[in-house]
Structure 1
C-alpha cells in the first residue's frame, strides 16, 4: 500500500498506463499563445506547431503557489501525512520555488512535505519514476524514496538532438546567423541535461554521429547499477528511432526500454517538434 502522496508537474508526459499502480497529483504549468493563456494539461502540443512555423512569440509560466497548495490539500484529503513533490529542475524553471513556497504557506507542521529537486526534467523524471513505481506501490517509505530517487538521478543521463531548429530561433536561444549556418552545415545540436541545466555538448553533422554519442553516453553509466531503464523520445523521427532502438537492443540487451512520442506543450514551446533523445538510469 502506498505510504505517501506524490505530486509531479505537467511537463512529465504520461498516459493512463504509465503510472497506473500509484496515486499522484499533477500541478499544471501554463502556456501563453497570442495573448491567450492555457493550462498545459488542457492542450495538446500539436496546437503549437503552426505558431512555431509562423514564428509566433509564445511563453510558459510556472504553476502558482496556490496551485501547489491545492495539490497538497488534495493529497491530505486522501489521508496522506507525507507528500513527495518531484518538480522539473530548479535550473530550468521556478516550479521548484513555487512548490517550496506553497509548503511554507500551507503551514501544517503535522504534514511532512518533501520538495525533491532531482535536477531532471520531463522524460528524465518519467524514467526515474518508472524505476520506482513498484516500490512506491509496495509501501516504500518517503525517506527511502527520497534517498533512492536522488541517487538514481545521479546515475542517469539525458540527451537529445533537435532536427527542427525554428523554435530555438523564435525564442532567442539561437541567433539568426547560427540558425542558417546550422541548416547549411546540417548541424544537429547535441543537448545534455547537466547539473539541472540544458547544455550544448556537441555539434554532430549526421544522425549516425548523434546515435553514436547516445550509445556511448548510455554506456558510461551502466556500471553504476545492475539494472538499466531507458526512455527513448522520438518526435517525428521514425527512421532515427528505428536505428537507435536497434543499437540500444544490441548494446544493452537487458535494458528495459520505453518509447514515447510526446514532450508536452511547455517543452515543445521551448524546443520545437522534431528531434530524438533518451533518458537512461542505472540502478
Structure 2
C-alpha cells in the first residue's frame, strides 16, 4: 500500500514538474515574439575612465544601429543589413526581441543567398545571444524545456558559425564573428583552441593583408582592424598573458582609428602597467 502511494506521488510530482517546465518554456518563447521597441538614445557624460570610453563607444554603435534599422527594416530594405542593425541593438540592450528580429532577418538573408558566409556567421552569433538573454534563466532551467532551449540555441550557434567558415574559410568577418562568439560560450560546448586558431589566422592576415587578396580591402579597413585588435587584446588578457596583452593594448592605443577604442586601449594599457 505504501509502495503504491509512493509511486502515485512520484508520478504526480513528475507530471507537475514536466507541466511546469512546459509552461515556462511556452512563456519564454512568447517573450521572443513581438515587435521590439527602439531604444532610448542618451548622451553619456564624458569622464576619464576605461569604462566610460567603452560606454560611449557602445552608445555610438547603438545610435548608428538604430538609424540603420529605421532605413533597412522596411520591405524594400536589405534583410542582412537590417539583421545587423537588430543584432547590434539586441547585443547592447540585452533585449531578446531585438535578437529574435535579427535571427529572422538573417534567416531571410541565407534563404536568398545560401552561400553568403557572413549571413550565416551573424545568424550563429544571434543564436548565441538568444541563449545568453533567454527569458528564463537561473535555477528555473532545471525544468524540462527551458534549459534544453538554451542548449539548442548554443548548438545552433556553433553549427551556423562553423558553416560560415566552411563556405568561405578566407572571409575575415566570419572568422572574427566566430572567434568572438565562441570565446564567450561555455567551454563544454566549444574548443577554446579553435578560438585561438581563428585569432592567429586573422592576425596573420591583418599584419599582411596581401596574404588574403580576396578580402584585402576588408583587412585594411579601419573598423575591422580596430575590432579585431580589440578582440585579440581581450583574448590575451583573459588568458593571463599580461605582457602580450599590454603590447596589444599599447599598439591599439596608438593606431586605433575609432576614438573610443583608442581611449579604452590606453586605459587598459595603463592598468596592466600598474599591475606589473
With structure 1 as the length reference, what TM-score do the two structures score? 0.27
With structure 2 as the length reference, what TM-score do the two structures score? 0.27
Query: Which has a greater percent of helix?
Result: 2
Q: Which has the larger radius of gyration?
A: 2
Query: Which has a greater percent of strand?
Result: 1
